[in-house]
Amino acid sequence: MDELKQDLAIANHILFDRQVLDAFGHVTVRSAGGDSFLMARNMAPALVTPDDLVEIGLDGEPLRPSGYRLYLERFIHSEIYRARPEVQAIVHSHSQSVVPFSVVKGTPFRAVCHMAGFIGCGVPVFDIRDRGGDGTDMLVTTPALGRHLADMLAGHAMVLMRGHGSTVTGGSLKQAVFRAVYSEINARIQLQASGLGAVTFLSEAEAHASAVSTEGQADRAWQLWARSAEQAHRSLLQA
């Protein structure tokens, strides 16, 4: 458990350092037993330490009293873990380049580079109005909304959230972080390419083959990103 907590703290720092998370957003990892997950208390990801992590059940509630304020959107994670046993880690972000694809109809978010093959030929879009009505604050703050999001995600690795951001899943913490980072990179490339002309996207077969090839080397990216992020984290704490 200690190693898992350390890795989750590092994941928070990486995602901030890679400009996927800012003061908001969160990353979680399923516990070894499978019926709970680790999540930071309600705080900025760049400042998370292993001591800030809370174990939460699949009902979205902490297993033990901690006295900490929790993230309001922990039900994103609890309901996906409940619905998808194969998912081992989740990143929810408001990644700037990804958000435009959640609000423009007729422009699907698709894989344009081999590093983002997991995106495939399209990503579903969760619209909170469908279940929450027209007066929500856009946040997934109940199990019912979390279940609807999990249903929209279905068998995909990623779901967009209209006017909000995205949620990315992985079979491991390193894979989820890898996917979250390359989702933002793919979005930037797609936005840039679309301004030049018609975009040639990866085919379904190319996307699948690329995902198998690149994600098998996620540890290489993790080692580099972790070193950069931990140096930045130490500097931030000393400032």
Catalytic residues: 73
Q: Name the amino acid, one letter, at 44.
A: A
In the numeric block, which tokens belong to residue 58?
Answer: 């699949």
Cα separation, 100 vs 107, in Å, equals 9
CA proximity to 159, closest of 203, 98, 105, 227: 98
> Are the beta carbons of 185 and 113 closer than 8 angstroms?
yes
Q: 187 with 109: CB under 8 angstroms?
A: yes
Kind and range of the H or E run holding 17: helix 2-17
Give CA–CA dist 20/139, Å, rounded: 18
3-state secondary structure of 182: helix
What DSSP line would sit under 51-64, residue for residue? GGEEEEETTSSBSS
Give the 3-state secondary structure of residue 72: coil
**CB of 182 within 8 A of CB of 123?**
no
The residues that bridge with 40 in the sheet, in sequence order, are 53
Cα separation, 24 vs 51, in Å, equals 19
Q: Which residues on neighbouring strands pair with residue 165, listed in sequence order?
A: 161
